[in-house]
Each structure stands twice: as C-alpha cells, then as structure tokens.
Amino acid sequence: MRSVWRTVPTVTILPTDAERKLALRRMKTLATSLLVVAAVVFAVSFALQDRYPWLGFVRAAAEGAMVGALADWFAVTALFRYPLGLRIPHTAIIPNRKDEIGATLGAFVETNFLSDEVVAGKLGTIDLAGAAADWLAEPGNARRVVAESFHGVTGLAGLVDDERMREAMEAVVRRHVVAPLWGTPLGRLGERVLSSGGHREAVDLLLDRLDEWLAANPEAFGAVVSRRLPSWLPSFVDRAIDDRLHAEARRLVRSVRDDPDHRLRRSLDEYLAQLADRLQHDPATIERLEAAKGRAFDDPRIRELAASTWQAARAAALDALADEDGELRRRAEAFVVDVARRIRADDELRASLNARLTGAALHLVTSYRSDIAHVITETVQSWDPSETTEKIETQVGRDLQFIRINGTVVGALAGLAIYSMATGVSALF
C-alpha cells in the first residue's frame, strides 16, 4: 500500500507581503533604469552619429529599446492604473473590472480546484493517515496534541454557565427521562428479569447482607422487644427473649438464603410477577408510579443534589484536565501514541482511514464547494479598487516587470536588425 501512496508534500514557505513589495520596487527601478540608459545612449549616439557613422547602429538599437520599454511599460501599467493619469480606454483594467475578476476567480477555483475528480485524485495519492500516525507516534507530538486538546476543553468548560448548564441538563432529563411513562417499560423489564432468574442473585446478596447485619447488631432487638415488656419482669427474662428472637431471625434468614425453593422466595416471586403485570396493565398502579416519580423529581432536595453533583463533577474534571503531570494526561498521551503505532503498523486499517478521510473531504467539497467559491467572489468584490490593485500588483507585479525588461532588450535587437537591413538595402541600391 505504501508503494502507491506518497507522503504529504512539504509546505513551501512563501515570502511576506513586505518582501514582495521590496522586490517589486527593485524590479521597477531596474526596468526604469534600463529605459533611462537607453534614452541617454540614444541622445549621445544621435548627436554624434554624423561624426561617427557607426553610431547609427547604436542609435537604432537604443531607439528600439526605448520604444519596446515604453510600450511594455504602458501595457503593464494599464493593468493596474491609468498611465500618467490619462483615462485612456481599456486601461486600469483590474480596478475597473474588480467584481468581474472576483466572480471569475471564484468560478475558476470551484471548477479547477474543488471538483470531485481533483480532490479525490489528489487525496488518493497521499497517505494522510500514515503521515498523521508517523507524527503522532512521537511522544512529544502526542503530548502536544493532548495538551492543546485539554486546554481547549478547559476553555470551553470555563465559558459554560453553571446555572444554564443545570437548566439544560434538567430540561434534557425531563424530556427524555421524566416525561415518558415508566410503568410499561419497568413492567417489561421486570418480566424479563423474573423469567431469567436474574433477581435471585440480588435476593441472595440482600439476605447475605441482612445476616451479616444481624450477627453484628444483636442489641437491635432490645429496642424492639424487651424494652416494650412490663418493667416488673426480671432482666434475665428480657435478655432470654431478645436472644431467642435474634437467633430465630438469623435462622429464618439463613433458611431462606439456603433454600432456593423456600416459600418466602416463592411468595416474593409471585409478588414481583404481579407487580410487573400491574405496572403494564393496571391504570391505578401506573398512575401511582407516575405521581411518585413527579414528586421525586420536583423535590427541591433532588434538584439541589443534581446541581451539587454537576458542580462537583465539573470541578473534578477541570482539576484532572489542568494537571499536566496527572494520570489522565499520561493515559491520554499513551493512548494517542498506541493508536498511532497501530495505524502505522496495520496497512488495512491505514487504507480504511484514508478512504474515510477522502470520503469526508469529498462530502465537504460537494456540500460547500459553491459556498467556498462564493466567499472568494464576495471577498474580492468587497475590496476597495485601490486595495485590490495593490494586492494583485504585490503578488505578480515583480514578474510583470520582466516584461518591461524583455521589451527593452527585444526592442533594442529589433531596432538594430531593422536599421541593419535598411542600411544594407540602401547600400545595394
């Protein structure tokens, strides 16, 4: 798979606007200097050509150079402004046709850069998942990603208003938890649990805890039984009654726990089965459940508990996110590195991820291609004409100055060639 893909190309560092403007001024100075040199040479050779006939060739070359330089100066200048301030037709093309240029540029980008074929073809040759995995496999890079992610989450959490969040959570809970009827779902769930016998483990656990509590708290029976007996009974009788009741209670609990077919267990099963049925079909039972549910969720104490729970969870989460040496960050960094290494080592997984990334990019391009082009069009159209001229000239003006330089050189050669041919023809005749 790696033989087909190539890595992500290195980004070329482009010069800044200030550097481009400096280069543009230098090229303008060079092109203008050549015109001045040609003019000086023309003036000197024109003045001395009668004394030195060979200077006629120099004069012709200088004359052609001046013509070529002036013609190309006019052509280049006419793109950006009026030459010498004269409103000559078809000059100052860019500021006068700014809106049309913006629309054309937007359409050009949409057609030639954001088409499905171009995007799919470009992404199909780049191993995006592999490049990301190679970068994230380095612990330092993974640490940076986790740190930036945690900073972002912490910043978002800091913007959240606790009261609004509590209200939002309460609204979600009321809509999706409180508002729906509970009776039928709970009844069906109870039927499934009873039919599978899953409740027996809960009953066994409850009986175990009850037996442990009875063993650890034998004096609890005194408050229930012996203290209610007549005061004239001897104390040993009270203790005997307490001990007897305590032993019988433990014996009953153990017998129920050890006998899966105990009559109390069967009674409990029958009661639970009837309750599950009534929750589904008995309107009175369903209404009582809904009333109890409403009272519970409307209780101010429950709302205060929910608010305090949210604040405590939020504080704990922020503390964990902010701790640069905490366990949460270390685990997150290790997780990122592990995932990156798995992607790098698994060709099929990497191919699947690249396919998904390409599909996501195509979806975004298809959905927002016109919007992106429209943004380009609107941006160019919103520019001030002079601003547009300055931006475009800064970007391409330096290269356009070569037209002036080439025009000067070509004009000089053309002038020399024409003068030479004219002189040769006149010599023949």
pLDDT classification of 221: cutoffs 50, 70, 90 = low
**Statement: residue 42 has pLDDT above 50:** yes
Q: What is the pLDDT of residue 40?
A: 95
Amino acid identity at 275: L
Residue 399 is classified by DSSP as H
pLDDT classification of 238: cutoffs 50, 70, 90 = low
Q: What is the pLDDT of residue 3?
A: 44
**157-168 confidence digits (pLDDT tens):** 666 666 777 777
Q: What's the half-sphere exposure (Cβ side, CA atoms, 13 Å) at 63?
A: 13
What percent of the chain shows pLDDT beyond 90? 17
Q: What is the pLDDT of residue 405?
A: 93
How many Å apart are CA 78 and CA 76, to the nearest integer?
A: 5
Q: Which of 4-13, 26-35, 206-215, 385-394 has the highest mean pLDDT?
A: 26-35
Nearest alpha carbon to residue 211 among 158, 173, 168, 258: 258
CB neighbours of residue 130 within 10 Å? 22
Task: Give burial (CB, 10 Å; 0-12/13-18/19+) of 131.
Answer: middle
How many Å apart are CA 227 and CA 221, to the nearest integer?
A: 9
Q: What is the pLDDT of residue 380?
A: 80
Q: What is the pLDDT of residue 8?
A: 53
How many Å apart are CA 41 and CA 184, to the nearest integer?
A: 104
How many Å apart are CA 89 and CA 77, to the nearest integer?
A: 13
Q: What is the pLDDT of residue 10?
A: 56
Q: What is the pLDDT of residue 69?
A: 93
Amino acid identity at 269: D
Burial call 59-73: b when 16+ CB within 10 Å, e when fewer: bbbbbbbbbbbbebb
What percent of the chain shows pLDDT beyond 70? 87
pLDDT classification of 407: cutoffs 50, 70, 90 = very high
**Statement: residue 6 has pLDDT above 80:** no
**256-308 confidence digits (pLDDT tens):** 888 888 888 888 889 888 988 898 888 898 888 888 888 877 777 766 767 77
How many Å apart are CA 102 and CA 91, to the nearest integer?
A: 18
Residue pair 146/330 in contact (Cβ under 8 Å)? The answer is no
Residue with more model confidence, 12 or 49 = 49
**pTM for this model (two decimals):** 0.49
Q: What is the mean pLDDT of the chain?
A: 82
Q: What is the pLDDT of residue 180?
A: 83
Q: What is the pLDDT of residue 240?
A: 67
Q: What is the pLDDT of residue 170?
A: 72
Nearest alpha carbon to residue 71 among 335, 337, 411, 412: 411
Average pLDDT for 30-51:
93
Q: What is the pLDDT of residue 247?
A: 81
Q: Which of 26-30, 41-45, 185-189 has the lowest mean pLDDT?
A: 185-189
